[in-house]
Amino acid sequence: MRRMSVFPQHGTALGLTANEIRQEVENNTSELVSDLVNLSARARFQAIRSLPVSFNERKTIRNRVNSVKLSKTMLPADCRQQVSRSFRKFRANLASARQRLVVWQDTLKEIGGRFGTSVLSYFLFLKWLLKFNLFSLVINFCFITIPQIVHAPNISNPTGFRGLELLTGVGYFNQTVLFYGGYNGEVIVSTLAYNMQLAYFFTISAYLVLCGVSLLYSMSRSFQNNFVLETGPVSGGAWRLLCSWDFSVVNEKAIQYNKNNLGIQLKESLSERLQEKNKMSLSDSIKRLSLHLLAWLLSLGLAIGSSAGIYFLGKEQLIFSFDHDPNDLKAEASTLLLPVVVSLINLIVPLLYSLISRMESYSNPRAQIYISIMRNVILKMSLLGILCFYWLNDVPNSTSSCWESFVGQSVYRLLIIDFIFCLLGIFFGEFLRNVIGTMWIQSLGVPEFDIARNVLDLIYAQTLAWIGIYYSPLLPVMQVLKLFIIFYLKKVSLSMNCQPPKHTGRAAQIQTVFIALLFFPSFVGTLAMVSFTVWRLRPSDQCGPFQGLNTPFYAIFNWIDSIHGYPESNWVWWIFENVLRSELFYYLITLIVLVITFFLWQITQGRKELIKTLREQIANEGKDKAFLLNKLQTIQKQRREMTSYRPQDFDQTPHFNPNWMNTLPMDM
Amino acid sequence: MGNKQTIFTSQQLDAYQDCTYFTRKEILRLFHRYRDLAPQLVPLDYTNQPEVRLPYELIGSMPELKDNPFRQRIAEVFSEDGEGNMTLDDFLDMFSVLSEMAPRDLKAYYAFKIYDFNNDDFICKSDLEKTLNKLTRNELTEDEVRMVCEKVIDEADLDNDGRLSLEDFQHMIVRAPDFLSTFHIRI
């Protein structure tokens, strides 16, 4: 950002005349204008907008820049300017059109106004996940479902619609396009041959690739913005008072609440400073360490125990296979047992974790939050991992027909039961807790909105949704509906029942951690699972688009072989055979990426050194500046005193040395 | 939206679009918000650039600002006369800087000016004490206020002159990534 000259403000203090000040300002402005003229159009307007001057000055500078640009144009450049101007207008129109599509703008403003930005981040995360699911829904619907509906296969054994289907997903939904089994892999002959196998494969892989790219981009942007270099003086908490006041909170009660919190936090940070940092004795630190170890052992034990329990429960459920008596409602309802147990574990074990963490003592609250997030993530991912293992290992070898639809139905059931538990959680966890806290047990107080727990629940549900896309292409419908309903319910529950969290420090860093969690165990795990299914497992023989093939990937092999004959598409075959299928290509790519990473790391190290040096230089320059200003002021004073002395005192005045510059120390 | 509006000439709207972070539609919406504060003072026709200045009391009564502890300083910093009486240009400028599209450096500059109560381009200890008093509800004693201010200056003052200059403040802001989202008023 352009640094505005200090002269207009301090000029008079330095004894400069008004003309000199005006001249300096004019010089600065013409420099600025010539700099701006040389930038590209887009950079120029960004630079003009971010000038830290008053609005009128900005408008003057903009007009000057425009007139300079206009005077410089020749005819071809004039056309170019017209084109760029119309392009800018088009982009502005696009931005305003996109704003009309932004949904929930007022609601988000209201939430941010009452609860602050950290609670708002939960709702923004929800909105972001909703976009993923909507996109998936649209492309799955257009590319896979519609062609299938138009050329519908004949449905065998149609059963009537009973209410239980909504929960279990079997029965009526069995052979519909909701699940994998409802698709077949024929080549639809119309004006263009539409190969359903390739469509299924490519749609889902394109969606996953786009998701991955978008997640990587968001993660790196967030990391860049929020995890800046933490070098320099050890940051205490006190400067936070200047930086953390939440201007977007407009509700009066919320503002008072925030003021209270800030006061309390400042008091705490002061008392920490005043306390002597007592050295812990050896026995104390051993005691603390062993408590930590015990807590970790307990948490991991709980996670492993629940996963093992789920696995064995799942194996028992395999007895209920696909070909059962459709009228046996009891057996069908028993398939709901597994999802209910999973959701119960997801509900109860985190509470146990918070109890466990209460017996430990942490040095700072941030470590406590991160450790609790890590434990919950381990629990959820181990549950999902064991379920995936069970689906990929045991299910394909046991049921005779359509194991993919079985997996799709299991995911469907898990999602629905998770949704129901979420609703119950809102009712009991927030509403009843609020009633208890305000009316009966006053000491409990109003519940705080626990952002971490809610976001982890969202990530868990999104992982399930991503896993299920291959086995049930229309699953995003449910996820979209679910997210919509949860948004409104959470908002209502928030306004009625909860209060904002007390410790809102480092909200931006926790945001980055959540996005990273969404990428690393969640998305990467899904990718691994889908890749394994496509690459290694044998699809079922009687249903689905890949029936009869060895693995679903054989569809690609067959297609590549089929275009081998045509000379104009030979390059595709060549790329596939010699590049994508050869291992050397991947070794080379990995090597190149490693080398580039090493270079970038070295550059980062060098920059850290540079920052340290620059910081020292700033401190030195501050001292120089203070010294020079003092010197200048004493000289001004002397000059003034000299002109006001009476002539007979002349020889008593101190001799003014015109070469005062040479009296400066050499090492400045 | 087309050229159906008659409030501004299209050059004026272009100038507003180029100098703020708002689109046409938002500028018109903000104009109507401005006008709603005092419909009898603000004309519907700005093509001949009337000199209309709304007094601070009206600006400070907006729902987005009325409970903000810094509303007076915000209005003073963004107004041309330094007293808080704002023209439409100042109004747009204020909400443009406080919108979510403004970059961090620009926001840091204006936040610095807001916290600089005596307008001497430095945040000295008395400025910090006034800020602290506005931000807490008289919960801290005099001693505690003084200690907190000393701690802030200790931690943030890079060139060791006992007060925070704009560079010190910006350096602090770089280490507080939350700043971009908290220094933000939605309108």
Contact A251 B67 (CB under 8 A): yes
Give the tens place of pLDDT for each residue, B33-87.
999 989 898 888 888 888 888 999 998 899 888 888 899 999 999 988 888 889 9
Closest-CA distance, A39 to chain B, in angstroms, reads 15
Establish whether this prediction's ipTM goes over 0.90: no
Q: List chain B residues with CB under 8 Å of A111.
A: none
Report CB contact under 8 Å: A270, B148: yes
Return all residues near A501 (Cβ < 8 A) that are at least 6 apart.
A118, A119, A448, A449, A450, A451
pLDDT at A62: 86
**In which band, very low, low, confident or very high, does the pLDDT at A232 lie, cut at 50, 70 and 90?**
very low
> Which of A329, A344, A479, A467 lies closest to A410, judged by CA?
A467
The burial of A125, by beta-carbon neighbours within 10 Å (0-12 exposed, 13-18 middle, 19 or more buried), is given as: buried
Is the CB of residue B131 less than 8 Å from the CB of residue B115?
yes
Between chains, do B184 and A619 touch, taking CB under 8 Å as contact? no
pLDDT at A668: 45
Give me the mean pLDDT over the B17-35 stretch.
Answer: 89
Task: Please check the confidence at residue A33 and state whether its pLDDT lies above 70.
Answer: yes
**What span, in angstroms and rounded, lies between the C-alpha atoms of A114 and A337?**
40
Contact (Cβ atoms closer than 8 angstroms) between residue A119 and residue A448: no
- Say if CB A241 and CB A262 are below 8 A apart: yes
Confidence of residue A303 (pLDDT cuts 50, 70, 90): very high
| Span of A35-39, A442-446, A536-540, B155-159 with lowest mean pLDDT | A442-446
Closest residue in B to A58 (Cα) is B19
- For residue B147, which amino acid is it? M
Q: Any CB–CB contact under 8 A between B25 and chain A?
A: yes
With bands split at pLDDT 50, 70 and 90, how would you rate the model's confidence at A486? very high
Angle between helix axes A55-72 and B10-19 (nearest 10 degrees) is 110
CB-facing half-sphere around the CA of A595: CA atoms within 13 A: 6
The mean pLDDT of A48-72, rounded to a whole number, is 83
pLDDT at B133: 85
Nearest residue in B to A246, CA atom = B182
Q: Is A493 in contact with A448 (CB distance < 8 Å)?
A: no
SS3 letters across A13-73: CCCCCHHHHHHHHHHHHHHHHHHHHCCCHHHHHHHHHCCCCCHHHHHHHHHHHHHHHHHHC
B contact test, residue of A227, A235, A266, A274 with most B CBs within 10 A: A266
Out of A45, A263, A619, the one facing B18 most closely (by C-beta) is A45
At A122, which amino acid appears?
Y
Contact A513, A455 (CB under 8 A): no
Q: Which helix (H) or strand (E) covers residue A125, if one does? A: helix A117-140
DSSP assignment string, A217-274: HHHHHHHHHHS----SSPP-STTHHHH---TT---HHHHHHHHHHHHHHHHHHHHHHH
- Mean pLDDT score of chain A, rounded to an integer? 80
Q: Which residues of A touch B114 (CB under 8 A)?
A: none
Reported as a single tens digit per residue, the pLDDT across A342-389 is: 999 998 899 899 888 888 877 777 788 888 899 999 999 999 999 999
Q: Best interface-test mutation with B: which of A39, A60, A247 has the largest number of B CBs within 10 A?
A: A247
pLDDT at residue B167 greater than cutoff 60 = yes
What integer is the mean pLDDT of A209-238? Answer: 75
Of A535, A530, A534, A519, the C-alpha closest to A212 is A519
pLDDT of the residue at A231? 44
Of A228, A247, A251, nearest to B183 by CB-CB distance is A247
The nearest CA of chain A is from the CA of B37 a distance in Å of 18
Partners of A260 on chain B (C-beta within 8 Å) are 137, 139
**Nearest CB partner across the interface for B121, out of A9, A230, A255:** A9
Which residues in B lie closer than 8 A to residue A222 (C-beta atoms)? none
Residues 6+ apart with CB under 8 A from A19: none
Supply the pLDDT for residue A400.
62
Q: At residue B54, what are phi and psi to the nearest 5 degrees? A: -90, 135
| Least confident range of A184-188, A230-234, B143-147 | A230-234
Q: Please tell me which residue, A517 or A147, carries the higher pLDDT value.
A: A517
Q: Does residue A307 register a pLDDT over 80?
A: yes
Contact (CB<8Å) B160/A618? no
| pLDDT exceeds cutoff 90 at A425 | no
- Enumerate the H helices of A498-582 as residue ranges: 507-517, 524-536, 554-563, 570-574
Provide the shortest C-alpha distance from residue B56 to chain A (in Å): 18
Mean pLDDT confidence for A42-61: 83
> Percent of chain A having pLDDT more than 70?
80
A-contacting residues in B 72-131 (Cβ below 8 Å): 80, 89-90, 92-93, 96, 98, 102-103, 105-106, 109-111, 115, 121, 128, 131
- A6, A48, A247: residue with CB nearest B19: A48
Q: Does B144 touch chain A (CB under 8 A)?
A: yes
pLDDT number for residue B1: 45
End-to-end CA separation in angstroms for chain A: 27
| A599-629 confidence digits (pLDDT tens) | 999 999 999 899 889 888 888 888 888 889 8
List of E strands, A85-210: 187-188, 194-195
Contact (CB, 8 A) for A551 and A538 = yes
The reported pLDDT for the residue numbered A1 is 46
Q: CB-based contact (8 Å) between B172 and chain A?
A: yes
In angstroms, rounded to a whole number, what is the distance separating the alpha carbons of residues A98 and A101?
5
| pLDDT tens digit sequence for A1-25 | 455 544 455 555 556 677 877 888 8
* Beta strand A194-195 pairing with A187-188: antiparallel
- CB-nearest partner of A262 from B90, B135, B177: B135
Nearest-CB residue to B68 (from A1, A238, A247)? A247
User: Which chain A residues are within 8 Å of B185, Cβ to Cβ?
Assistant: 247-248, 250
Q: Searching chain A, which residue's CA lies closest to the CA of residue B174?
A: A228
Asked if residue A144 lies in contact with residue A157, where contact means CB atoms within 8 angstroms, the answer is no
Residue B88 corresponds to which amino acid?
A: L
Q: What would the DSSP string read from start to end of A353-419?
A: HHHHHHHS--SSHHHHHHHHHHHHHHHHHHHHHHHHHHHHHTHHHH-SS-HHHHHHHHHHHHHHHHH
pLDDT digits (tens, 9 = 90+) for A547-568: 778 888 888 888 888 887 787 7
Q: Which residue of B has its CA nearest to A49?
A: B19
Rg (CA), chain B: 19
Q: Is residue A460's pLDDT more than 60?
A: yes
SS (H, E, C) chain B: CCCCCCCCCHHHHHHHHHHCCCCHHHHHHHHHHHHHHCCCCCCCCCCCCCCCCECHHHHCCCCCCCCCCCHHHHHHHHCCCCCCCECHHHHHHHHHHCCCCCCHHHHHHHHHHHHCCCCCCCECHHHHHHHHHHHCCCCCCHHHHHHHHHHHHHHHCCCCCCCECHHHHHHHHHCCCCHHHHCCCCC
Task: Give the mean model confidence (pLDDT) for residues A92-107.
Answer: 72
Task: Give the 3-state secondary structure of residue A194.
Answer: strand
Question: Would you tell me which residues 32-51 of chain B have a C-beta closer than 8 angstroms to some C-beta of chain A?
Answer: none
Could you give the CA distance from residue B35 to residue A138 in angstroms, rounded to a whole number?
43
List CB contacts (< 8 A) between B96 and chain A: 49
pLDDT of residue A467: 92
For position A45, what pLDDT does the model report? 81
State the pLDDT at residue A183: 75
Partners of residue A663 on adjacent β-strands: none
Nearest by CB to A267, which of B21, B102, B140? B140
Quick check: A324 pLDDT over 60?
no
Is there a contact between B4 and A77 (Cβ–Cβ < 8 Å)?
Answer: no
Q: How far from B93 is each of A105, A310, A383, B12, CA to CA, in Å?
A: 22, 59, 52, 14
- Binning chain A into helix, strand and coil, the percentages to the nearest 5 are 75, 0, 25
